[in-house]
Amino acid sequence: MCTGNSCRSQMAHGYLRKLLLEQANIYSAGIEKYGLNPYAVSVMKMDGIDISSNSSNLIDEYMSIEFDYIITVCDHANETCPYIPSKNALRIHKNFIDPSATKIEDEDEKTLKYVNCRDEIRDFCIDFKQKNF
């Protein structure tokens, strides 16, 4: 989960879906809904993961699901996360800097910010799998 379910949570969704295959159902959501970030879609495709058909969702859409893990990938979502009625869910938080928050005009530099964020999220997801599955 992140603020707008457009970039960081979508990247994590893509990696976790690939890494965990049939071991888990993966959902991503936000406190708000911004739609998919085209740079996130592009840099994920560079790493062989297609998230272009993902949808941007609100956490309210998933309140009836009994989660095992609730992962927040930004401080704002962690601080404002609504109560999610999953009795035994382990909450994990790791803040990733929002690459869309930087106002960079140079396309190569902007893409590099997204790639760096993507790589940090990929490493986090690999570590998550190793520790929990």
Instruction: Give yes or no for residue 85 having a pLDDT over 90.
Output: no
- The catalytic residue positions are 2, 74, 81
Convert the pLDDT of each residue in 33-73 to its tens digit. 999 999 999 999 999 999 999 999 999 999 999 999 999 99
In 82-128, which ranges are E strands?
90-93
Predicted pLDDT of residue 110: 94
Placement of tokens 């965990």 in the chain: 20
Span 86-94, average pLDDT: 91
What pTM does this model have? 0.95
Task: Categorize the per-residue pLDDT at 87 as very low, low, confident or very high, splitting at 50, 70 and 90.
Answer: confident
Residue 64 to residues 83, 84, 87, 126: CA-CA distances in angstroms?
12, 9, 11, 27
What whole-number distance in Å separates Cα of residue 67 and Cα of residue 37? 26
- For 27, phi then psi, to 5°, come to -130, 150
Domains (range + CATH), the chain: 8-128 (3.40.50.2300)
In the chain, which ranges are E strands?
69-72, 90-93
> What burial letters (b/e) apply to 91-103, b meaning 16+ CB within 10 Å?
eeebebebbbeee
Predicted pLDDT of residue 23: 95
Task: Categorize the per-residue pLDDT at 115 as very low, low, confident or very high, splitting at 50, 70 and 90.
Answer: very high
Structure letter (DSSP) for residue 92: E
Report which residue type is found at 80: T
Q: Which of 89-98, 100-109, 113-122 has the weakest average pLDDT? A: 100-109
Instruction: Give yes or no for residue 83 having a pLDDT over 80.
Output: no
